[in-house]
Chain A
């Protein structure tokens, strides 16, 4: 099936199998490998992207369901001149990442969280990120990163 999806401001038209997941389309056909796959049950959130401005796990959507949508992946977050997005900067300054594998999904989920709730409490951040798993940081510095980003 032919679909047209805008990813990071660029339009992509492609032929996809109906069973192709959005994350597979992004990684394998568009070649944007910053979006990671960490599970096969939509549990880990490593593949989180923005679909029409809201965070979504890109393994929960078929590519055909994203036809006509505008998607932002981690590659679309930093400015063209290389300046990191404030959330990326906050993760860096607060050591909110170690191995980095959950990080793109975390950053996408966290920016979506702040878009909905610009001034969250620590507990609201923890609950807001419960769909994204991290095995390295114990979440402490991820939460600090999001709170710091909200403050700035």
Chain B
């Protein structure tokens, strides 16, 4: 099915991925696959205590072990850092952030916090030596519970004197007291508390790093399993005081990220610092149990949400109070995660300017949290979609009907939301209708009447969730208003080689998303060539020096559009050359199918290939025109992108065991025009299962002393194929009006929509038993206990 001769109509085809042959044959090289002669291996000794004073570190026995070349405590390396580990999102002026170094000095603050490290000639020698480092700890009381943290009963970091990092408010009222008045006047209101449990991202490739110095030339190359080679370069240069132009960062094949590789990690900085110090390459590969402790976690919020509605069930006010779990330190964008959700607590519903959001984030003695697939938006969508079901129950109407009454009408787009953000497009009723048809919503409701009778032990439940994804993570000015430390633009270069092959340089950094395939399709469509003639270069700052990388479903709607714009610039230049050659006015030329034609004179034409060669030889170019066909663009979009959709989930719950079986899952997503529907569906499938995993399986469990009980994949329940259903995908297409491709993001939609759809289905199944909520993950034991409590402990 590869397309080699079709040079138009490429967009929208299910083109197979060019990335696959290398990945399918073992030819692709991930960071830990790179052969690096003479590399020293780094191993990190991690604190076994959630909070402890480091009294002393004796490295002498470790240093004497075979193969060991050096051993360092945190104190030994204190001079290596020009600054502490970076947090790029100081959300408020007075945000508190404890000093965080790659190895702890004085006090360790979570189980897994680096305390000392070894360099040795093999990975096994390094790990052996770790055990020989003698650290004397004075264990201190750990803070695990978020409300306990808020109380400052025990203050974790003396230097900031409180566990509160920040409070961030977003209160929108046309007149003061409007929210309070709406609740006072409400015909119906609900007040719910939801717990977003901590999750472990668990990308299948553990993190890996290799730093290769060039001691005499002065340059340094950093290979890392990262989503953000460009951000990593800037931050590494700043943190280590290395001239940025002497640092090159390469992300080779990267095995998944989901936000966990959107960061600047201690081990990256350690490898570079120690490579600089020793003059030898230094490499490190994470073990899985190390990663569960020392790679960021996701979610971790207590959400209190209140909805007020009029007598028709139409929302009149929303109030949200969050406590965010930052973990022990602020990583790259940790404090900003709850803010990304702040704009979505009214979902896809019309809401007057009556919204009151406040988030207080606290430090705890657990692994730092940060962006995990969806980052703030799954949490927000979960809260509003669960609360809408509660409101429907309160009013006594069907949850889908309540949603329909509240959908922002299609005719209202573009719609200025109460937050001031403008939703560019939407057709929620259409998506909901398609999903309802696919799952036979009416039929399921009828089946429930006969199946969910008193005494039934297999109860049927259907859950609905609707969503906006709010992605793109741009424009830069909006990010500035949120105090985000970077912009939201993306860069692209399109270069036509003399033989009419095309190189595209992108600042996006794919790690499974298929950008090479998708970007080649955009260029093929624009330039009238085969996708096979387009090479996509990325993820190496020496080749693609400008970029802001891949996260937040931004790559297509920002990076892909940048490529389209760069193509336009190339075509404009090529048109001048073609006009010169054809002795025509450039304004009279048309470009399609890879050929310039003089309008009205079909015999006067010049293919792009000929123009490319003319641009290369430069023998006969218009006066003043530079040789070669190449254009660069940096694109800053005018708005976020607003994908939306409706997901529905059908479950059967065994009331005797608490077991939840997902019988059917329907995902209707509208991401605007689709470049490659094959890839779109794949993103939805994976996203849905990750969200479903939060609903049913996954939780990073800590004991009261701060020990992570789920530190391996034997304990942390990443679902297997047998644990999850087939996913039925459907799409509506509402093109984005804000970019020339009409595209929106799709990377996080599944994760945002599926968690509430699943839990709404479970609660729906059990509503006849008096169950109003089931905490996540809805394991058999948890579901059984919810039933038992609702039944007054009778079961």
Counting CB contacts under 8 A, is A51 at the interface? Answer: no
Q: Are A38 and B205 in contact, CB atoms less than 8 angstroms apart? A: yes
Q: Which of B33, B682, B718 contacts A95 (CB 8 A)?
A: B682
A125-B721, A141-B685 are known contacts. Are A99 and B713 too (CB-CB below 8 A)?
A: no
Contacts of B27 in A (CB 8 A): 34, 75
- Most chain B beta-carbon neighbours within 10 Å: one of A27, A39, A73, A127: A39
Report how many A-B pairs have Cβ atoms within 8 Å: 179
- Nearest chain A residue, comparing its CB with the CB of B725: A140
- Nearest chain A residue, comparing its CB with the CB of B713: A43
Q: In the complex the two chains form, what is the Cα distance from A132 to B1 in whole Å?
A: 28
Contacts of A27 in B (CB 8 A): 33
CB distance from A59 to the nearest CB of B (A): 11
Contacts of A88 in B (CB 8 A): 24-25
CB distance from B226 to the nearest CB of A (A): 13
Residue interface bits A73-89, CB-to-B below 8 A is 1, else 0 = 11101100000100010
Q: Which of B25, B288, B727 contacts A41 (CB 8 A)?
A: B288
Q: In the complex the two chains form, what is the Cα distance from A119 to B523 in whole Å?
A: 41
Contacts of B726 in A (CB 8 A): 122, 140, 143
Q: Are B26 and A34 in contact, CB atoms less than 8 angstroms apart? A: yes
Q: Are B205 and A101 in contact, CB atoms less than 8 angstroms apart? A: yes
Counting CB contacts under 8 A, is A129 at the interface? Answer: yes
Q: Are B727 and A40 in contact, CB atoms less than 8 angstroms apart? A: no
Q: In the complex the two chains form, what is the Cα distance from A88 to B16 in whole Å?
A: 13
Q: In the complex the two chains form, what is the Cα distance from A46 to B1 in whole Å?
A: 28
Q: In the complex the two chains form, what is the Cα distance from A122 to B17 in whole Å?
A: 24
Residue interface bits B27-71, CB-to-A below 8 A is 1, else 0 = 111101101000000000000000000000000000000000000
Q: Are B685 and A99 in contact, CB atoms less than 8 angstroms apart? A: no
Counting CB contacts under 8 A, is A136 at the interface? Answer: yes
CB distance from A56 to the nearest CB of B (A): 17
Q: Are A39 and B26 in contact, CB atoms less than 8 angstroms apart? A: no
CB distance from A75 to the nearest CB of B (A): 5
CB distance from A47 to the nearest CB of B (A): 11
Q: Are A126 and B26 in contact, CB atoms less than 8 angstroms apart? A: no
Q: In the complex the two chains form, what is the Cα distance from A87 to B750 in whole Å?
A: 27
Q: In the complex the two chains form, what is the Cα distance from A80 to B539 in whole Å?
A: 31
Counting CB contacts under 8 A, is A64 at the interface? Answer: no
A100-B255, A135-B258 are known contacts. Are A40 and B712 too (CB-CB below 8 A)?
A: yes
Interface residues of B in 707-723 (CB under 8 A from A): 712-714, 718, 720-723
Q: Are A136 and B721 in contact, CB atoms less than 8 angstroms apart? A: no
A100-B28, A101-B204, A133-B720 are known contacts. Are A138 and B686 too (CB-CB below 8 A)?
A: yes
Contacts of A111 in B (CB 8 A): none
Q: Which of A36, A133, A137, A143 contacts B30 (CB 8 A)?
A: A36
CB distance from A77 to the nearest CB of B (A): 7
Contacts of A44 in B (CB 8 A): 204, 288, 713, 718
Q: Are B204 and A93 in contact, CB atoms less than 8 angstroms apart? A: no
Q: Are A140 and B713 in contact, CB atoms less than 8 angstroms apart? A: no
Contacts of B25 in A (CB 8 A): 34, 74-75, 77-78, 84, 88
Interface residues of B in 66-109 (CB under 8 A from A): none
Q: Which of A41, A98, A125 contacts B513 (CB 8 A)?
A: A98
Q: Which of A17, A41, A46, A126 contacts B722 (CB 8 A)?
A: A126
A40-B287, A93-B1, A143-B721 are known contacts. Are A133 and B713 too (CB-CB below 8 A)?
A: yes
Interface residues of B in 650-686 (CB under 8 A from A): 678-679, 681-682, 685-686
CB distance from B321 to the nearest CB of A (A): 32
Q: Are B721 and A99 in contact, CB atoms less than 8 angstroms apart? A: no
Q: In the complex the two chains form, what is the Cα distance from A22 to B712 in whole Å?
A: 20
Q: Are B712 and A41 in contact, CB atoms less than 8 angstroms apart? A: yes
Identify whether the interface residues of A are mostly helix, strand, loop, or mixed: loop
- Nearest chain A residue, comparing its CB with the CB of B225: A101
- Nearest chain A residue, comparing its CB with the CB of B23: A100
Contacts of A65 in B (CB 8 A): none
Q: Which of A43, A92, A95 contacts B714 (CB 8 A)?
A: A43
Q: In the complex the two chains form, what is the Cα distance from A41 to B29 in whole Å?
A: 23
- Nearest chain B residue, comparing its CB with the CB of A105: B204
Q: Are A139 and B24 in contact, CB atoms less than 8 angstroms apart? A: no
Q: Which of B204, B288, B688 contacts A102 (CB 8 A)?
A: B204
Q: Are A133 and B26 in contact, CB atoms less than 8 angstroms apart? A: no
CB distance from B647 to the nearest CB of A (A): 13
Contacts of A37 in B (CB 8 A): 32, 206
Counting CB contacts under 8 A, is B528 at the interface? Answer: no
A38-B288, A107-B24, A122-B726 are known contacts. Are A98 and B689 too (CB-CB below 8 A)?
A: no
CB distance from A104 to the nearest CB of B (A): 5
Contacts of A104 in B (CB 8 A): 24, 26
Contacts of A127 in B (CB 8 A): 721-722
Interface residues of A in 8-23 (CB under 8 A from B): 17, 19
Counting CB contacts under 8 A, is B369 at the interface? Answer: no
- Nearest chain B residue, comparing its CB with the CB of A43: B713
- Nearest chain B residue, comparing its CB with the CB of A33: B33
Contacts of B205 in A (CB 8 A): 36, 38, 99, 101
Q: In the complex the two chains form, what is the Cα distance from A32 to B35 in whole Å?
A: 11
Contacts of A43 in B (CB 8 A): 288, 712-714
Contacts of B206 in A (CB 8 A): 37-38
Q: Are B202 and A135 in contact, CB atoms less than 8 angstroms apart? A: yes
Contacts of A74 in B (CB 8 A): 24-26
Contacts of A138 in B (CB 8 A): 685-690, 724, 727, 750
Counting CB contacts under 8 A, is B598 at the interface? Answer: no
Q: Are A100 and B678 in contact, CB atoms less than 8 angstroms apart? A: no
Contacts of A112 in B (CB 8 A): none
Q: In the complex the two chains form, what is the Cα distance from A126 to B689 in whole Å?
A: 14
CB distance from A10 to the nearest CB of B (A): 15
Q: Are A97 and B722 in contact, CB atoms less than 8 angstroms apart? A: no
Q: Are A135 and B204 in contact, CB atoms less than 8 angstroms apart? A: yes
CB distance from B12 to the nearest CB of A (A): 16
Contacts of A17 in B (CB 8 A): 124
Residues on A close to B: CB < 8 A?
17, 19, 27, 31-41, 43-44, 46, 73-75, 77-78, 84, 88, 91-93, 95, 97-104, 107, 122-123, 125-127, 129-143
Nearest 8 A-B pairs (CB), nearest first?
A: A34-B26, A100-B23, A101-B255, A99-B512, A138-B689, A33-B33, A138-B685, A43-B713
Q: Can you list 25 A-B pairs, Cβ within 8 angstroms, ordered by A?
A: A31-B35, A33-B26, A33-B32, A34-B26, A38-B204, A38-B713, A40-B288, A41-B713, A44-B204, A74-B26, A75-B26, A75-B27, A92-B20, A95-B16, A100-B19, A100-B253, A104-B26, A126-B720, A132-B721, A133-B204, A133-B720, A134-B721, A135-B203, A135-B204, A137-B686
Q: Please give 11 more A-B residue pairs, beta carbons under 8 A apart, in addition to A36-B255, A88-B25.
A: A33-B30, A38-B288, A39-B288, A40-B712, A44-B718, A95-B16, A95-B17, A95-B678, A99-B204, A127-B722, A134-B721
